Structure 1
Amino acid sequence: MKAATFFDGIGWREGVVELVDGGARLRDEVPATGIPRLDGVVVGGFTDHHVHLQLVDHSQLACSRLGRVVDLGGDPDVVQRLAVHPVRIEFAGAFLAAPGGYPSDRAWAPDGSVREIADADAAAAAVTEMAEAGASCIKVTSNSVAGPVFTDELLRTVVELAADRGLLVVAHAEGAGESERVIRLGAARLAHAPFTERLDDDQIARQSASASWISTLAIHDDPARAVAIDNVRRFHTAGGTVLYGTDLGNGPMPVDLSPREIAALREAGLDDAALLRALSPVDPLDPDSNLLLLPGSSPAAADPLAARPLTPADLKV
């Protein structure tokens, strides 16, 4: 048993780590005087809020520092059956797109991963299908650069149908004015920080008050990367919620934390507690959570890239 400083998703607290059934478990209690202390700080497994598990070797998640992933576009019949202990898999199910819209014409899109929505009846059927499959959100595409997008009326209908099921809408917004439009129509989250254009300060203020952004900064080359980082920097400064996400499956990247994405978030001004909040670690007090140790770190200097699994050997006195 050892005393430990841990991150609870908001701030740093004190607790005790002990061995239970051969694994490390964290208890929320004030450590007794004189108890040995872990050399470092403890967090739960991190969250990647934007992945595509059908496009990668998802079995590698088991050896990663990720404790939760959110699949934002795949065949719901396939994704709902995936299990990678101890990683929690949440998913949106299929992309909901306008007929002929992105990514219906993309070779990389797995069979069964797109529903082309022509009217309110098709929208209701698709939202019902995803909800009954166990989706935690609904993914829509609004990429005017690549093809047709939903009308305002139909997108608003999708948002309302999702809300009736208690599900938020995550939107892929690409093209002039699309990020503003989808947020105005009720999307609660952008799958990518805006990269098509630099938002003005009024737009940043509106979006920071009503939506969150998933970063995915490292998938871009300049000038889109510079635009996205500038938007995120001002969005974060305005109080907006930035969530770590990589678009895992979009080109070569580790099935783990991405050093390039972490570096881009730091460049955008997220550091220390803000960076940890963006990484949304799983509650370390949850008995099913995988615990990570940042060796030699302190709350003032906790680098998530230094994290490794907490092992029984770390608890030896």
Structure 2
Amino acid sequence: MTPKAMDAPPAVFRVADAWRGEWMGPSVFRRGGSTLHYVGPADAGASASPGAIELPGVLLPGFTDHHVHLQLVDIVDVSAADAMAMGGISRVVDLGGDPDWLAMMAEPDPFNALVEFAGAFLTAPGGYPSDRAWAPAGSVREIASADDAELAVAEQVAAGASRIKIALHADAGPVWSDALLAEVVAEIRAAGLPVVAHVEGAGQAARAITAGADTLAHAPFSEALPESLIAQAVAQGQHWVSTLAIHEPAERAIAVANVRAFRAAGGELLYGTDLGNGPQPLGVNPHELAALVEAGLDETAVLRALVGGFGRGRGKKRVTWMPARPVAITDLAGAVSLSVGDLEGAGA
């Protein structure tokens, strides 16, 4: 790979197949700088797109892992974000770490997956995960008042956070009162950022939904949610990050059932693995893909969860390449992430 992502020369590419919400068949793309634009279908024969570079395999928008913890990944020689790109992930969303460390990881690097982050966990004094040995220094920000909330949110924004994560884990320590929860959410809203909630323990999903959280960091796994609450979450446009494969069987069964009900009501799931939580592959995780199939997602739904709104219309900086159209959903674990500037090397 060469670092061309920021200033790649214009080029036209012809590919045998491409996915843009559905499989498009032979397609033509145009590269302008670090963006790949879909031009349209390619007729049979090279004369239909003169001068086009023929690419082997198929192209898809860049895949995203919507729940990772880069500081918890034990790896040497390359960064976790670089390893994720080699494993088919074009973008990662870190949901809990030292904001200063994460800001360095989020610096643009054509070799790495794109990094977005929430910064520190915002939690009640003594709340989860403040007492966890795995929590890196600086990764937890305790909030005891509305003034604390204003300052804590400002700190994450100053570091470059693209969303803010709150912790509501009643089984592991204190959680905020409803009044303070509302204050915290209001501060995040005032900063113009979405709210991501870790919910665990009876009633905590309901509290997050009632408070208006935009995303649940995990598909709820503590209890089966009633239809009325799921309908409320869907009506609010809430997303759930899957993270199904991390659970033991009992919690996994609850999460899978909740996902089935959420999707049946029209909810949108996002692919996420909670990378850093135990041993996991660096890249597209076949175990998470299998869990999504278990939850009733077909190929289109899994691809939408992987794309997550990132580059649906055009490839920005990074795209996904596969040597052939997948036969089974778990074949997506063989994807490769490429910078737009390095498409000429596809399949090399």
TM-score (norm: length of structure 1): 0.89
Distance in 2 between residues matched to 1:283 and 1:15, nearest whole Å: 16
1:213–1:243 Cα contact (<8 Å) kept: yes
Residue identity matched to 1:169: V
State whether structure 2 residue 322 is matched by structure 1 residue 305: no
Residue identity matched to 1:52: H
Secondary structure at the counterpart of residue 286 of structure 1: strand
Match of 2:145 in 1: 119
Distance in 2 between residues matched to 1:29 and 1:88, nearest whole Å: 27
Residue identity matched to 1:34: G
Secondary structure at the counterpart of residue 66 of structure 1: coil
Match of 2:39 in 1: 28
Match of 2:205 in 1: 179
State whether structure 2 residue 92 is matched by structure 1 residue 69: yes
How far did residue 307 of structure 1 move? 2.3
State whether structure 2 residue 69 is matched by structure 1 residue 52: yes
- Aligned in 2, Cα 1:209/1:123: closer, same or farther, shift over 3 Å? same
- Aligned in 2, Cα 1:19/1:138: closer, same or farther, shift over 3 Å? closer
1:169–1:187 Cα contact (<8 Å) kept: yes
How far did residue 312 of structure 1 move? 3.6
How far did residue 186 of structure 1 move? 1.5
How far did residue 287 of structure 1 move? 5.2
2:88–2:320 Cα contact (<8 Å) kept: no
How far did residue 209 of structure 1 move? 1.9
Match of 1:226 in 2: 253
- Aligned in 2, Cα 1:271/1:294: closer, same or farther, shift over 3 Å? farther
Distance in 1 between residues matched to 2:281 and 2:264, nearest whole Å: 29
How far did residue 202 of structure 1 move? 1.8
Gaps of 5+ in 2: 1-12, 49-53
Q: For residues 252-281 of structure 1, what are the alpha-carbon distances to aligned partners after superposition, in whole Å with 9 as ceiling and x for unaligned?
A: 001111111110011101111111010116
2:260–2:296 Cα contact (<8 Å) kept: yes
Q: 1:275 aligns with which of 292, 302, 307?
A: 302
| Structure 1 runs, 4 residues or longer, greater than 6 Å off | 18-21
How far did residue 115 of structure 1 move? 0.5
The size of the alignment, in residue pairs, is 313
How far did residue 61 of structure 1 move? 2.2
State whether structure 2 residue 117 is matched by structure 1 residue 91: yes
Q: For residues 208-227 of structure 1, what are the alpha-carbon distances to aligned partners after superposition, in whole Å with 9 as ceiling and x for unaligned?
A: 22211101111101110111
Match of 2:280 in 1: 253
Match of 1:192 in 2: 218
How far did residue 33 of structure 1 move? 4.1
How far did residue 302 of structure 1 move? 9.2
Distance in 2 between residues matched to 1:52 and 1:86, nearest whole Å: 15
State whether structure 2 residue 266 is matched by structure 1 residue 239: yes
2:85–2:337 Cα contact (<8 Å) kept: no
Bigger shift: residues 197-206 or 30-39: 30-39
Bigger shift: residues 11-20 or 285-294: 11-20
- Aligned in 2, Cα 1:24/1:161: closer, same or farther, shift over 3 Å? closer
How far did residue 133 of structure 1 move? 1.1
Bigger shift: residues 199-208 or 101-110: 199-208
Match of 1:16 in 2: 28
Residue identity matched to 1:246: T
Distance in 2 between residues matched to 1:126 and 1:6, nearest whole Å: 43
- Aligned in 2, Cα 1:153/1:45: closer, same or farther, shift over 3 Å? same
How far did residue 314 of structure 1 move? 5.5
Distance in 2 between residues matched to 1:313 and 1:129, nearest whole Å: 41
How far did residue 309 of structure 1 move? 5.1
1:218–1:246 Cα contact (<8 Å) kept: yes
2:89–2:336 Cα contact (<8 Å) kept: no
How far did residue 16 of structure 1 move? 1.8
State whether structure 2 residue 102 is matched by structure 1 residue 79: yes
How far did residue 11 of structure 1 move? 3.6
1:19–1:315 Cα contact (<8 Å) kept: no
Distance in 2 between residues matched to 1:287 and 1:191, nearest whole Å: 25
Gaps of 5+ in 1: none
Task: Give me the identity figure in percent.
Answer: 48
TM-score (norm: length of structure 2): 0.82
Secondary structure at the counterpart of residue 100 of structure 2: helix
- Aligned in 2, Cα 1:25/1:102: closer, same or farther, shift over 3 Å? same
State whether structure 2 residue 56 is matched by structure 1 residue 42: no
